Amino acid sequence: MGNESFSARITSGDNSILPLKTDEDVVRLRKQVRDDLVALGFSLIEQTKMVTAASELARNTLRYGGGGEAHVSRRHDNDRTGVELRFIDNGPGIANLELAMTDGYTSGGGLGLGLSGAKRLADEFQIDTEPGKGTTVRIAKWKML
C-alpha cells in the first residue's frame, strides 16, 4: 500500500475525485477529507464528525452501490468556508428512501446508521436516488468565521 495513491486521484483546483472500489479506497478518502478539513482550519471535533460521515457514506457506495466515486471540494461562500463531498454510484438505487433513512434499518447486515448518522454529523445532507439508476449523496460542513 502507499505507492498507488497518486495514480488513483484526479485533482483540479479545489476538487479531488477519488475512486471507491476497494476497502483501501475508503481509507484514502478519509485521509483526503481530513487533509482538506485541516487545511481549512476546522476544529478537531468538526474534522472527526465529517471524516466519520465520509467513512459511512463511502462504505455505502462500496457495499450497496457496487462501488463508485467520491468528489471532495472546498467551498467558499461570502463569510464562510466549507467542504463538500459527493458520493456517486450507478448501483441499484434505493427503493424506499424513508426506510433507508431510518436509524437501525439495514438491507445488508450493517447497523443501519450510515445514512441517518451521516446526516446528523454533517451540516447539509442531500440524497438523489432512483431504482436502477444509482445514488448520489451530497454532504457539506461549514466552518463559521
| Residues binding another protein (CB under 8 A) | 1, 23-24, 26-27, 30-31, 34, 44-45, 47-49, 51-52, 55-56, 59, 103, 110-111, 113-114, 116-117, 120-121
Nine cell digits for residue 133: 439508476
Tell me the closest approach of the beta carbon of residue 78 to another protein, in angstroms.
Answer: 28
Alpha-carbon dihedral 43, 46, 47, 52, rounded to 10 degrees: 160
Q: By the 8 A CB rule, do 74 and 36 touch? A: yes
Tell me the closest approach of the beta carbon of residue 59 to another protein, in angstroms.
Answer: 6
Return the number of the residue (51 or 83) whose C-beta is nearest another protein.
51
Return the number of the residue (44 or 144) whose C-beta is nearest another protein.
44
Return the number of the residue (34 or 71) whose C-beta is nearest another protein.
34
DSSP line for 82-107:
EEEEEEEE-S---S-HHHHTSTT--S
